[in-house]
Structure 1
Amino acid sequence: MIDQLPAEIIEQILGHLPTLSAILNVSSTNKKLHQVITQGSNSIFHNFVERSFPTISVQPPWREAAFNLASRSRAWDRRAFIARECAAPSDAPPRARNDRRQGFGYAPVIDSFEAGSARTKGGKEVLAWGAAGRLRLRTTEGRTVRWSSLRVPDDDRAWTDILDVRLLRPHQNRNVNGESILIRRADKEIVLLRSMPEPDKFVTASTYLANRETPIDCLDVSDGANPQLAICNGTSIQLFPVHSPHDRVQPGAVLKLANPTNLNQRKRCARFVSESLIAIGTQFLEGKLGAPVELFDVNATEQGLPLHALKMLEADDRPVRNNANVLVKVSEGTNAANMSENLLLAGSTDGLVRLYDLRAGSTPVRKYWDPVDDGQIFSLVPVGQEKFFAGSHQNACLKIFDMRMDARAYDYTDAVRYTSPKSPMASGKPIVPQMLPASRSRKQINIFLALTVHYAQQPWQPLPSVHENTSRLPRYRGSIYSLSSPSPSSRTIYAGIENHVIQLDFMNTDDYIFKRGNIADTIDERPILNLSCYERPRKGFESTDTVLLRKQEDWNRALSKLGEAEPGWDERWQLESAREKRGMGGRTRWRR
């Protein structure tokens, strides 16, 4: 019998089981197997994670990682997430609006990272974003959440706006008391800040003396233990050591850039793809040429001619001005060997997201397109080599694209989900164990962050309370300016809209209840937002696939429907019937 084998052999056998539930079901058969799985080494869960999620970089503890990844995979397939606003619990009293202040709000720039699992001992998650002229910093360790805010004089004025935020990762951080954050303001000030254990206290470690006679278009920080700061404009790349013994840092090198087209241009975005290579997206300000994404060797001593130019338009495309708005590395931190410098995603002004393999020439190896919403792509965040999220410049549209082309290493659909009968539910009825069928459709969804907003409020005020009468307030229809994920294994995505940062935790409603036991038993008391979404038509079926709008129900209503979800959807999603719509002014379903 299997329970009579040595523990090491049992671990090797169980490490090949296809689903997490299969491993847990084996643990309930007898005491020895239960002890091997729950109290033995983590090799069972380690093997499961590496086999089932080969492109996701995962850090121990492996048991926690296995549960998180399996739960997130199921949540993706069931379009399940919990949305909240990120807002500091307290702040300085708002000032009266200044007439000379810009008429629109600020665009948050976000960065985050996760070291270990934030909910386990020794792990933490750090989130930072620029809120006009203020810097927000949130650190989560277990059940402890700490906030710090950097406030400066006239932080409601446009010239103090924070345009870039870069959190130094743990292997780069030399601040033993807290975090190191590099920020750029609209007045061209670029500084490295160090947070202190005391709330709202920051120390300026370095100021980077970029040439103020020339514009600063974009910047990026390399990933190495001794990171470089690259400041780019249309004529040069200025390189600085991030860590310097001097408090005022001069550029270590300046790479002059050639302009073979002689067109007026600027650099729209930059991303280090390795310690020596940087990709820069150019924007032409005149003419009808597609501006390329160019790769430069930052160690070059001669005039900066690109080593490689990635095309944004192909030979058969009609002439149109097009450029990349955002660049991200796809395989950053994955387990795939020798892939960290090869795959690059570019979100462009024509609404397409292009995937480039730097080994395969200058044309994209794949294009991702939304037939319903063709807005510019302003932000991107990849999750290993499985999915990526794209933020549109219109309709507050957050798009989800699957990069696996249905080649999934893990499928949760054989998993039986048990909910404890002791868990208190709003309906008073426990959920019985049941098989949750998966949706056979591979349609992806667009999520609308069309939240009710108060444009007349100060920019640091939170979203309207759920208790307020918001029937006459407008909904946000603008851009998703920034996206960030703490790690490839995290189930959290942060999205920046005008004046607000939204946190989306990809977790099923029943998973959340099962984990918490009670909806009120949580350290996070922020109200849960109700959003809407629709499925994008499949490629080749654009004229026949319907596009139906779904809305999330309030928690109290969703709890009474647990176990009654439509296949492929979370319990909170509701598709309003034509009859219900007729009772609301005679409007029919939102359909394409």
Structure 2
Amino acid sequence: MGYEEMYGSWGERKEVLAWSAGTQIVMRTKETGANIEKIRQREEGLDQAPDQTWRYDAFKHLTTWFTYKIPDSSEGRDDIVNLKLLRPHQRDLASEDIVFGTASGQLSLLSASPDFAETRVQNYNTDRSNVFDESRKRAIADLSISSSSTPLLATALSDTSLAIYPIDRHNFSDQAIKPSSTAKTVLDGKPQRKIWSCEFISDDAVAVGWGPHAEPIEVYHIGPEGFLPQPLRRFNVASESVAHSNHTAVYSILPFPSTSPGASEAGHIFLSGGYDGIVRLHDMRSPRGFEQIFWDPTNDSAVYSLAAQGRERFVAGVALHSMIKVFDLRLSGSHSYHSILLSEKKFNPTNKTLSRDSATSTVVDGLKSQTPVVSGGWNLYLTPRTTPSRTAYRTDYTRLRGDSPVYSLSIPSSTSQKLYAGLEGVVESLTLHGVADIYPDTMLSHSLVRHSAGVVDVRASYNSDGGALNLGMYEQGTDEGLGMQLLVQDGVTDKVAGKERRDKAVAKGLDERWIDLRDEQNRWSSGETLPPREELPHRPRTSRRPPRRSGRGGGGGGGA
């Protein structure tokens, strides 16, 4: 989880990022601007103290680190499974406030002031009774914070209860705060069903994601007295023609950004990510279960996380291949290079094998034409194609990495160049920037090093420590896999590639540092021969597992 503040001008910013690792919370603050640059220039060349908690990153931004460990906690038992940061308008500017929940049932507000090395903790009662009993705490399934200046905390507990707590950061008490309202959620009269997610979609409505079920999304209204006893709305995720055979689990819910085209200030519109690999757009004002489908025909891995990127795109983190997917939120067909309308085609993603805490479906076969199906975005593998230099990291990066689900995603603001992905054992930072731009982003220009002729030295400017990762990506195609481009990144080198390759990239609508592997088969890193266009794989069929919400070593489990 992260946020970003802008102080008047484009280059004056502060970014705060927090994540969990076992029973610990790591928080990083990044600051940039004219004053930071003056301080950096004065301190350049000075030795760093062994215990120094701050440094300047590759872009010459000041980064400060803070860690917190739950007292008397045990790894594997008390692991943090969810955390959220309060926004600047919700907190005291002297500290950062983090709400976190654990697998053992602790729910707390941590107020940390790194400048003064001070922390305060307020606990919340997750017990079933009115008298707090440490042994009867319920595990935290998910949590969410409303966006108002006087926020509420919504929590999904392990016994399928929803609880609302007030957040009053000015009055910390030794007593655990009781919920101001609770609701017992039982889907189809079956309390054994599991809640996977809960999210405020407005200040007075919380959406809950179940699984597996034909109606896996419920929305509960919060009135003056708290939760209403019955859900305000249930959403069916199947087509009307085969609703009885379509079940899925909903792992992630994302309120539609209010600044996006077609958004609602009242919070009527939201996205959901399911086990079936589909992201659906829902509208509280519509009688239909969903208004639009975003689907990648080349890979239908379960969607574990969602994040909004600016006004026009969103990013989905999936269960397989350490992969993220980028989709266009704009109207289907308005930009042909991002959206392909498939209303004439049968929509039939791969069948899933039913297992515990998993879902199975043929999903939406015979989907009606009035429901637009959008594909044609692009996917990025977060596992490096080549082993990064060990000298670039404090620990051996390759030991921590394997094929991991993308458990969490965070984009600090609508104007941020950053995207953070929480994977198993690591948080990966992506900077969305064209290193070959003649006029680089001023947020990232403090690191520029130029040759004597005035040309930017790309390696010295953007990869001086050798820590940049070499990633692969591809553009999604149609339902038949047509139009898919397999691409790899050409690393961070001293100069832009030759004119011939630049011209090829421009002709394909690509930045010159992305290579179409079909044009350069001899550079395929694994030594394989790429198949002809008509034989390209378009729907990997591999088994998947449910998301790991707790356990030892979960670096991205608590959100990014």
TM over 0.5: yes
Change (3 A) 1:363 1:512: farther
1:580 to 510, 518, 522: 522
Question: CA 1:452/1:544 → structure 2, altered by over 3 Å: closer, same or farther?
Answer: closer
Distance of 1:123 and 1:472 partners within structure 2: 32
> What displacement does 1:156 show?
7.3
Aligned with 2:245: secondary structure?
coil
Matches within 5 A, 1:225-304: 225-233=149-157, 234-243=159-168, 245-247=171-173, 248-262=176-190, 264-284=192-212, 289-299=213-223, 304=229
Q: Given the superposition, is the C-alpha separation of residues 205 and 134 from structure 1 closer, same or farther in structure 2, using an over 3 Å criterion? A: closer
Question: 2:410 touches 2:421 (CA, 8 Å); kept in 1?
Answer: yes
Residue in structure 2 matching 1:312, options 237, 256, 267: 237
State the partner residue of 1:11: none
In 1, Cα distance between the equivalents of 2:313 and 2:187? 36
Structure 2 residue identity aligned to 1:569: L
Structure 2 residue aligned with 1:530: 470
Q: Is the 8 A contact 1:132 1:155 kept in 2?
A: no
Once structures 1 and 2 are overlaid, which stretch shifts more, 368-377 or 383-392? 383-392
Change (3 A) 1:575 1:543: closer
Contact map agreement 1:346 1:355 (CA 8 A) in 2: yes
1:138 aligned partner, one-letter code: R
Report what 1:145 is aligned to.
63
The answer to whether the 8 Å contact 1:558/1:572 transfers is no
The AA in structure 2 aligned to 1:114 is E
Using the aligned pairs only, state the percent identity.
Answer: 25
Q: Provide the rounded CA distance (Å) in 2 between the counterparts of 1:149 and 1:249.
A: 25
Aligned to 1:129: 19
- Cα deviation, residue 463, structure 1: 8.6
Q: Which residue, 556, 560, 565 being the options, matches 2:493?
A: 556
Residue 190 in 1 paired to residue 132 in 2? no
Counterparts in 2 of 1:366-445, with a 5 A limit?
366-404=292-330, 405-407=332-334, 443-445=376-378
CA shift for structure 1 position 311: 1.2
Instruction: Look up the match of 2:58.
Output: none
Inter-partner Cα distance in structure 2 for 1:227 and 1:463: 44
Q: CA deviation at 1:523?
A: 11
Residue equivalent to 1:49 = none
Supply the distance in 2 between the matched residues of 1:261 and 1:198 (Cα, whole angstroms): 51
Match of 2:252 in 1: 326
Question: One-letter code of the match for 2:425?
Answer: N
Shift of 1:320: 4.4
- Structure 1 residues not aligned, in runs of 5+: 1-110, 412-441, 455-461
Alpha-carbon contact 1:255-1:298 (below 8 Å) kept: no
CA-to-aligned-CA distance 1:40-61 (integer Å, 9 cap, x gap): xxxxxxxxxxxxxxxxxxxxxx
Q: Which residue of 1 aligns with 2:455?
A: none
Secondary structure in 2 aligned to 1:564?
A: helix
Equivalent residue number for residue 449 of structure 1:
382
Please tell me the residue identity of whatever aligns with 1:196: S
Is there any run of 5+ residues in structure 2 with no aligned partner, and where? 33-60, 128-135, 339-374, 450-457, 538-560
Query: So what's the TM-score if we normalise by structure 1?
Result: 0.66
Cα distance, 1:127–1:406 mapped onto 2, change above 3 Å: farther
State how far apart, in whole Å, the 1-side matches of 2:524 and 2:6 are: 51
Give distance in 1, aligned partners of 2:463 and 2:96.
23
- How many residue pairs get matched? 433
In structure 2, distance between residues paired with 1:336 and 1:363:
17
What is the deviation of 1:113?
Answer: 0.6
**CA distance change for structure 1 residues 535 and 232 in 2, over 3 Å: closer, same or farther?**
same
- Partner SS for 2:240: coil
Q: CA deviation at 1:275?
A: 1.5
The question of whether the paired residues in 2 share the 8 Å contact of 1:581 and 1:589 is answered with no
Amino acid at match of 2:95: G
- 8 A Cα contact 2:162 2:182, kept in partner: yes
The CA RMSD measured in Å over matched residues stands at 3.5
Q: Take 1:116 and 1:477, find their aligned partners in 2: how far apart are those partners?
A: 36
Q: Deviations over 1:536-559 (max 9, x none)?
A: 1135xx2543x4422112212653
1:256 is displaced (CA, Å) by 3.3
CA separation of 1:353 and 1:485: change in aligned 2, threshold 3 A = same
Distance between the aligned counterparts of 1:227 and 1:336, measured in 2?
Answer: 26
- 1:151 Cα deviation after fit: 3.1
Aligned amino acid, residue 198 of structure 1: D
Q: Flag the 1:222–1:526 CA change in 2: closer, same or farther, 3 A.
A: farther
Distance 2:305 2:102 in 1: 19
Post-superposition shift, 1:525?
Answer: 4.8
Say if 2:277 is the partner of 1:339.
Answer: no
Classify the secondary structure of the residue corresponding to 2:488: strand
Give CA-to-partner distance per residue, 1:447-495, whole Å, 9 cap, x none. 11123799xxxxxxx9945699x99979632211100111122221111
Q: How does 1:468-479 map to 2 (within 5 A)?
A: 476-479=402-405
Q: 1:550 to 1:450 in 2, by over 3 A?
A: same
Distance 1:569 1:235, change over 3 A: closer
- 8 A Cα contact 2:401 2:425, kept in partner: no
C-alpha distance in 2 between matches for 1:309 and 1:352:
18
In structure 2, the CA distance between the partners of 1:156 and 1:214, relative to structure 1 (3 Å rule), is closer
Which residue type is aligned with residue 366 of structure 1?
Q
Compared with structure 1, are the counterparts of its residues 337 and 363 closer, same or farther at alpha carbon in structure 2 (3 Å cutoff)? Answer: closer
Task: Using structure 2 for the length normalisation, give the TM-score.
Answer: 0.69
Question: d(CA) in 1 for partners of 2:238 and 2:10?
Answer: 47
1:331 CA drift (Å): 2.0
2:304 touches 2:408 (CA, 8 Å); kept in 1?
A: yes
1:139–1:444: structure 2 CA closer, same or farther, 3 Å change rule? same
**Contact (CA 8 Å) 1:345, 1:356: kept in 2 or not?**
yes
Larger radius of gyration: 1
* 1:351 alignment partner, one of 242, 259, 277: 277
Shift of 1:521: 4.5
Tell whether the 8 Å contact from 2:238 to 2:247 is kept in structure 1 after alignment.
Answer: no
Q: 1:380 to 1:464 in 2, by over 3 A?
A: farther
Q: Structure 1 pair 328/579, CA: closer, same or farther in 2 (3 Å)?
A: closer
Give the Cα–Cα distance (whole angstroms) in 2 for the partners of residues 582 and 158 of structure 1: 41
In 2, Cα distance between equivalents of 1:407 and 1:249: 50
Identify if the C-alpha distance between structure 1 residues 483 and 406 changes in structure 2 by more than 3 Å, giving closer, same or farther: same
- Following superposition, the deviation at residue 191 of structure 1 comes to 1.3
> Which residue of structure 2 aligns with residue 571 of structure 1?
512
Q: Secondary structure at the match of 1:243?
A: coil
Summarize the alignment of residues 35-46 of structure 1 with structure 2, pairs less than 5 Å apart.
none
2:385–2:470 CA contact under 8 A, matched in 1: no
| CA apart distance, 1:184 | 1.3
| Amino acid aligned to 1:224 | S
**Counterpart among 77, 87, 94 of residue 177 in structure 1:** 94
Instruction: Name the amino acid aligned to 2:69.
Output: R
